[in-house]
Every structure is written in structure tokens, then in C-alpha cells.
Amino acid sequence: MGADTRKALSTIRRCIAADRVRLLPHFTERMGARGMTWPDVLAVFDAPADVRHGGADDWGRERWIVSGTAADGLAAAVVCVIGRDAAGELTVFVTLFWED
């Protein structure tokens, strides 16, 4: 894992710990459709199998795809972006999907 990837994962984990996250409606819909819970999502970030850069979103924020095993044992990937608001760093959860 390269330095940029480690920094991104560290930032995302810090945002989660500080409750500096925003869940987009699409992300929440995907969680419900897949029967996932927040602990399932957190398990992916606790022990990721892969973290890769996914370019930038429409607002120029860095997009990251974090893959791993959810708490329910299924392989999942979470797409999120790292941004800032008036209060500081923020991670926005965009979508999630099952990994093959």
C-alpha cells in the first residue's frame, strides 16, 4: 500500500471515529437493498483487502474504493470521497457494492 493510499485510509478511519461522515441517499439505499448494517460497513474499513484510488468526483474530491469482508462475511466495496466542510475533514459515502 502506497503512502497516498495509507493516508486516505487513515483519513477515512479518523472521520469515521469522529463521526465526520455523510451518507448519501444512494449509499443508504444500497445498504438497505443488500441487507447491510453499519457494522458490516465498518468491518470493511477495519481490515480492508484493497484500497484503490478512484479518480476525482465532479467537485474535485478524491474518490477511494475500499474493499474487504463485511461483518456478515460477504465481500463488499465502499466508494467514498474525502472532502472538507467548515468544520474540517469529512468523508462522504457514495455507494457500495458486492465484490466478486
Average pLDDT of the chain, as a whole number: 90
The number of folded domains in the chain is: 1
DSSP calls for 74-97: -EEEEEEEEEEETTEEEEEEEEEE
pLDDT at 3 over 80: yes
Query: Tell me: the pLDDT tens digits for 6-25?
Result: 999 999 999 999 999 999 99
Average pLDDT over residues 60-85: 90
Report the alpha-carbon distance of residue 80 to residue 82 in Å, rounded. Answer: 7
- Closest alpha carbon to 56 in 27, 82, 95: 82
pTM of the model: 0.90
End-to-end Cα distance, the chain = 21
pLDDT at 98 over 90: no
CATH number at residue 57: 3.30.2310
Residue 16 belongs to domain spanning:
3-98
pLDDT on residue 94: 92
